[in-house]
Amino acid sequence: MSRFRIYPTIEQRLALLEQCKHARYMWNLALEQWSMWKREKGPAPGYHVQSRQLTEARAAFAWLRAGSQTVQQQALRDFELAVRSFYSGTHAPPSWRKAGRNEGFRIVGRQASRVVKLSGKWAAALVPKVGWVRFRSSRTVPDAKSYRITCDPAGRWHIAFAAIPLPIAGPGNGVVVGVDRGVAVSAALSTGELLACPQLSEPEQQRLKCLQRRLARCRAGSNRRLRVKAAIAKLRARARDRRRDWIEKTSTRLARDYDVIRVEDLRVPQMTRRPRSKPAAVPGRYARNGRRAKAGLNRGILTSGWGQLVARLEHKAPGRVEKVDPAYTSQTCSLCGSCASENRESQSIFRCRACGHESNADVNAAINIAAGRAVSARRETPPRVSLKREPQLTTSP
Ligand SMILES: [Zn+2]
């Protein structure tokens, strides 16, 4: 993903926000249908049914008709992809898009290639119904088939071209690495290296907590509340930027340093992998108390980051990423192969009951993943996902 900051004029900003609103409306409409769908009713309405409904909705509502059909259709396609990613196990279920929080829309196809270079520093993209929007082309603009325009909660607009990065050559010596998605750390390599995805620093986290407490005390609709919200959004955007950066650097390094990269196959439900925590109704969510809460929180952040890291690896090292069944990788001794749940002494310590081998639990699991040793014995079905929140949809803006 190649992302650039865009600088829309005031009128363009309003037009962009309008497009965001349309995309959000279509997305939430699709989500509402999907979440209310019951198994007995047969297959859930897919993109084609929804696309027909879009035509009807556009006929009925002038405000929707005034917008770009491409943008609205694309929102439905994006939603369909999100549902597919969810069922394939790599992503969390699609969630409601909120105004001011998840603002964005996608342009795909011929319309996405209307980009011109203005000067050494500036370029512009022709956005349907908005016009030429200027952006800083700090790097070469890739020849992309689609782009996504987003506004982060801090109010910064970006254009991200979905260009698949060029493959990176491996070292060519056949060296294999296993990567385990850790609980305590971001990722552990079979080489013993522990990788930590940068998060907010301790003072930044303190500040975030403080701001969140302050927000709770703010009067609804007050200017103070808006200011506090913007400050929170800025911190969150900073954390997200750091995570993205880490994913890019880490995937490049792994693709360059190793010939085969083995990762856990996320399509396999990982009930057996969770040490000493009760699986809650939603996968990836944990009881929030004490240290476990922190691990759960990190993990929550990482579930999305992990999917991105694997996707990036597959782009940069095509054909060199192998997915391994992760069942029992955390309980099996990487030295003697004995498998017992007691082997995993705590979140971070692995001690084999058979041979006494002791190591970092995540590294031990990474070695098992590198060996592709994971045995599949018992597979549990994923828990049903409940979408409790009611959508707040109105038929007018
Ligand atoms: Zn052992």
Instruction: Render 230-274 in DSSP notation, one character per residue.
Output: HHHHHHHHHHHHHHHHHHHHHHHHHHHH-SEEEEE-TTS--GGG-
Same domain? For 138 and 56 the reply is yes
User: How far is ligand 1, taken at its centre, from the CA of residue 334, in Å?
Assistant: 7
Contact in structure between 188 and 366 (CB atoms under 8 Å): yes
**Span 42-97, pLDDT tens digits:** 666 677 777 887 888 888 888 888 888 888 988 988 898 888 877 776 677 888 98
Residue 238 placed within a domain: no
Residue 257 placed within a domain: yes
Contact in structure between 78 and 71 (CB atoms under 8 Å): no
Cβ count near 264 (within 10 Å): 26
R_g of the chain computed on alpha carbons: 23
Same domain? For 193 and 271 the reply is yes
Domain count, the chain: 2
Q: What is the spatial distance between Cα 382 and Cα 83, in angstroms, rounded to a whole number? A: 15
Same domain? For 34 and 125 the reply is yes
User: How far is ligand 1, taken at its centre, from the CA of residue 368, in Å?
Assistant: 12
Contact in structure between 383 and 92 (CB atoms under 8 Å): no
User: How far is ligand 1, taken at its centre, from the CA of residue 340, in Å?
Assistant: 10
Q: Which tokens belong to 283?
A: 């996968």
Residue 387: the pLDDT is 41
Residue 152 placed within a domain: yes
| Residues measured by CB to lie within 5 Å of ligand 1, the ion | 333, 335-336, 338, 352, 354-355, 357
Residue 385 placed within a domain: no
Same domain? For 42 and 82 the reply is yes
**Span 16-31, pLDDT tens digits:** 999 999 999 989 988 8
Same domain? For 155 and 6 the reply is yes
Out of 189-198, 253-262, 303-312, give the one with best mean pLDDT: 253-262
Same domain? For 115 and 190 the reply is no
User: How far is ligand 1, taken at its centre, from the CA of residue 332, in Å?
Assistant: 8
Q: What is the spatial distance between Cα 287 and Cα 321, in angstroms, rounded to a whole number? A: 33
Is the pLDDT at 101 greater than 60? The verdict is yes
Same domain? For 23 and 83 the reply is yes
Residue 11 placed within a domain: yes
Enumerate the β-bridge partners of residue 105: 149
Q: What is the spatial distance between Cα 183 and Cα 293, in angstroms, rounded to a whole number? A: 11
Residue 231 placed within a domain: no
Last residue of a domain, one of 161, 189, 222: 161
Same domain? For 22 and 118 the reply is yes
User: How far is ligand 1, taken at its centre, from the CA of residue 107, in Å?
Assistant: 54
Same domain? For 54 and 27 the reply is yes
Same domain? For 189 and 116 the reply is no
User: How far is ligand 1, taken at its centre, from the CA of residue 186, in Å?
Assistant: 25
Is the pLDDT at 378 greater than 60? The verdict is no
User: How far is ligand 1, taken at its centre, from the CA of residue 342, in Å?
Assistant: 12
Residue 326 placed within a domain: yes
Question: Where does the pLDDT of residue 343 fall: very low under 50, low under 70, confident under 90, or very high at 90 and above?
Answer: confident
Same domain? For 69 and 186 the reply is no
Q: Which domain holds residue 294?
A: 176-197+253-371
Same domain? For 54 and 145 the reply is yes
Please indicate whether residue 293 or residue 335 has the higher confidence score (pLDDT).
335
Q: What is the spatial distance between Cα 58 and Cα 68, in angstroms, rounded to a whole number? A: 10
CA atoms in the 13 A half-sphere facing the CB of 358: 4
Residue 235 placed within a domain: no
